[in-house]
Structure 1
Amino acid sequence: MSQQLPDPQNQQSINSVNNGSDYVGGDKTTVSNIQNSEVVAIGRGAIAAKGNVTIYKGEAYPRLNYRIEILELVKFYTQTFVGRRAEIPQLIEFSAQKSPGYLLVEAVAGFGKSALMYQLLHLHETGSWKSHLKPYLLYFFIRQQGNRNTPVSFLQALNSQLLEILNLSGGVPNELSVLRNQFSELWSQALLLANREQPLLLLVDGLDEMAVGGDVTIADLLPSLTFYTHVIVTSRPNPEPLQLVSLEHSLKKAHILRLQKFDQSDIKALLQKYTNSVEIVANLSLRILEITKGEPLFARFVCQDVAAKGEPALSQLEKNPPADVEAYFQEQLKQLASVSDEEGEIAWNILGLLVVTLGGITIEEMAEVLKENKRKVRKAIDLIQRFLLGDSQVTLMHLQLRKVLTEEFSHRDQVENRQKLLDFCAYWQKHHSRYALAYYAQHLVEA
């Protein structure tokens, strides 16, 4: 049963459903008690109440469960989150202000912008938001992989979340123009919900990864604000994020928070995530800080090395210290490539496959694609587990790692691996692969 959108100023009415006679139209679509409004059919399975919100119902309009889509990412980033003791209170305080506005979190790659946004989401969901003013929260993490960086993916995720916040039925369309209209309607109603006790906060991570070249970008869709509404955007400094929007856009006037390098206390906290050794934490944290220069992603991997192998691992790195995390990745991959046994070869092939996958893929699916024994694939993954993200479905853990790996595999290697994925996806009816169902169409477009 569909609903007329109640008075957004009245939260109680937002959560109520009117009962009464139904108007049926489109594809099994109903609307109840549209009073003093003209009901208009809008395409297959969609209806609209003039002056309210268009409700899209039927199989053609699924609602995206975006929180499930990013489940593995949230788990990965929050398990080992450390630091940002000053930044988190600043962001929470910003979200509670009456004056609306944008805040830009800016840092180079590997400094923890995404980790910070996932941590805010985690704090909100676990009741750890350090303010009595807990906002309505919307979020989107822009990713090049899997084309999760397009205006359509952005609006489908946000519109689905807005439907939840407004307690409305129905789903979301696929066409950009219709999605924009839906977002305009839903965002307007969400703005009316925002108040002193419960502001409205939108998190948009990774503006530097958004797709460009089309008529519309995600930056063009960043919304206008009213009292008690705020948007936090993260980006690398290049491309210059404030140049991605028009002169009159509110992002131009954004407050800017630049993330700094880790200090020794952050390194100690990171070490404590990986080891219970008080001696290692006390005696080696300063040396780790010196070799990594406090770069968070670099420090994370060196702390893992030291926790697993002790002081000798750090001494070895100090003999020929990598310039940055990319140089560290290159050295680690060189060591893996030198492993001549079967497991090493399979591990290398897995990394080559993950360079061209469009999203998370299971061990069983990888075994099918590579035509390897599943047990051997599982054992090979143990060699490269620290470079991967996810449990049931895995992907590469960071864009910088993907960049380094892309340079390690030739164009021919990548073409061959894409063809293997395409051949595997073609038999989706046989194996019912989740990966094939999610990405087969995109692989066909890219072929």
Structure 2
Amino acid sequence: MRVERDRVWGFQDLMRLLRRKNEGSMKDLMGKRVCGLAIAVVAIAVVLRAPLRAEQISLDALVTPSTTILKDGRPLTFAVHGFIEFKSLAELFPYIDSQTKRWQLDELQRQDLVRDLLRRGIESRIVSMNDERSLEAVITHTSDELRQAIARVTEPVPRGYAEAFLAVREKWKHSLNCWSASPSISGRVLSNWYPIEEGIQLFGATYDSTEHFWQAIKYHPDTTVADLTELIGLLEHKEWNSWLARLVGDPTLYLPNAYAVEFLRHNLAPERLRWFSDELGRQRLQASDHARRIQQRGSVPFRFSAYEEKVLWGDLADLFHLVYAFSPPDDPIRRSLTERHFDAVYLGDCRMGFISEDFRSLMLEIWKVKYLQMPRFREVISTIPIEIRLEHFLNDGDSPDIPIPIYVGYLNQIRGLARSKNN
């Protein structure tokens, strides 16, 4: 089954069509026997046949495993662990089955894994970063209607299928997804990507957003662009297949760190390493530039967008820190990373492990500045009703430096502090 999102046409589309260069002036159009009345008739016809909004997704279509949802003519994918993508829930099921057979698991472990992956996949399918129609279909129907729709499914589904859908509905009917492209203004403001026009003062420097700070401090003050280029070169010349196989083959390593391992698999690919190198070159940086300093606000604000902070600076730093964390103690790559200070996060006199409570708790400290000391942001977060839980869900992605459950816990905690008159 395919669910298509219609192209919505209106007067603006018609006017753009009429303004194309090869159509000439209105006089030319008249010369081509296209009169004003005909244009008006066409315009009215276009508007009358256009849907007022994109085609909705029916509940029956959403819960049918074989359904592929289309947007702008392309399949709308969803993911497990951020990087393993699917076009339909029917594609997800064989993946789940393959994972249960990858390792020697007892029955209880196998059931837990199936339940976890099924829930992740269904939530990613419903809470899409690119299309709200699936979430709308779930939220605007009752739990009984959802059960009835699932009961009408004739295709095979795994045990716990209905329960996973119902759990996702229960979670999101009273939640706000706080991220940079949220349809809610409050949701966007509560994203670390939200640009702060006046800048934010954190630990002796000014940053364009809390995202800029969070990614910048993953680089030691002495680390230069030349250091990064050299490290990328070292990673490009290392054979990673056996290194990754060690992580994937051990369930005690892979299962608690699935997102981190898939992140490493994605970013250690040759084409991805070349992208990092090319992107650093595209930024017109000097080899002597210090990576942390250039991410701080200079004479010109927003030298790097929040997107660049995450996808270039953040992913590159995470890659170096995670390679260090998951490499055996005697791996020479650890020495190279240590020499360039990717063995920890350094802030002032503090040395914090990249995957540590000390580092992740720093997020709460910088939010105390944004949401308690900056009145405009305090007002936004404190006026969100306490009945609405603040959430953060992006394609089942996670963050090894601050796992999503902890991030979300801090977000709700800082809202409580902002609402309190004692802070």
TM-score (norm 2): 0.27
The higher-RCO structure (CA 8 Å, 6+ apart) is: 2
TM-score (norm 1): 0.26
